[in-house]
Amino acid sequence: MINFDLTNRVAIVTGGAQGFGLAITERFIKSGAKVVIWDIDENEAKKAKEKISSNNLSYQIVDVSNYKIINKNLLETEKKNGKIDIFINNAGMAGMNKAVSKYPIEEWNKVINLNLNSVFYCCKAIVPHMIKNNYGRIVNIASIAGKEGNPNASAYSTSKAGVIGLTKSLGKELADKNIAVNCVTPAAAKTRIFDQMTEEHINYMLSKIPRNRFAKVNELASLVTWLSSEENSFSTAAVFDLSGGRATY
């Protein structure tokens, strides 16, 4: 395993208590960072803290769909640590597996709000802190579904396509500063998000992956750690595929 150096860096990982977020948190801690998990589930946050058992790990219970709460917790984190170097937008949900004509409007709004609006809110809030310090690494966790669109997953696919567009816009806005903004588009991984999907949809996703397996959370964590490091000094406004060969562009 390559050791990327995140020594003395302060990172926030949304949805960091489980799945992709927990794997990223673990890798960041091993790389020397101080990590603050933002999660809505306090029980899972406590479990993550117990599992990793590091003085460099803490958590805050944050609703990332609420801009005021985001700002409040950012100020608390900065006051405690003096800065915020890295921000990972990972929190998200799959939503229902239904055709567009049958997709409930309430469910659509719920998915878009958590998967896309929250990323905008967090980026809007964190950017001034990073500009002030002239340093930052933002990584948004999108999905291969955002590039290719999955049938019966219109809200999820649309939200992740929006994250890709937001990443490209923000990365270009900050390109003249020492702030990198990138996103990763993984294929599906066997995390608790599968609990929100039908077996038919899970099998469909697997059938589209040439490597004939799902992604592993540690594979995503490795890529995100490099993107979050000082070593990534040039790539910004970019999309990094982690799709097992599924991506066609």
Give the residue extent of every domain in the chain: 10-242
**pLDDT tens digit sequence for 180-238:** 999 999 987 767 666 767 888 888 878 888 898 888 999 999 999 999 999 999 999 99
pLDDT at 103: 98
- How much is the pLDDT for 243? 86
What is the structure's pLDDT at 202? 82
Of the residues 121, 156, 204, 249, which is catalytic?
156
CA 138/CA 141 separation, integer angstroms: 10
Instruction: Please give the pLDDT value at position 2.
Output: 80
Concerning whether 135 is annotated as a catalytic residue, the answer is: no
For the domain 10-242, what is the CATH superfamily, name and number? NAD(P)-binding Rossmann-like Domain (3.40.50.720)
Instruction: Tell me the CB-side half-sphere exposure of residue 71, using CA atoms within 13 A.
Output: 7
Structure tokens at 105: 């409007």
Task: Quote the CA–CA distance of 80 and 82 in Å, as a whole number.
Answer: 6
Quote the pLDDT of residue 215: 83
**CA 82 to CA 76: how far, in whole Å?**
10
Q: Which residues of the chain have pLDDT under 50?
A: none
How confident is the model over 123-135, as pLDDT tens digits?
A: 999 999 999 999 9
Contact by Cβ (8 Å): 215, 14: no
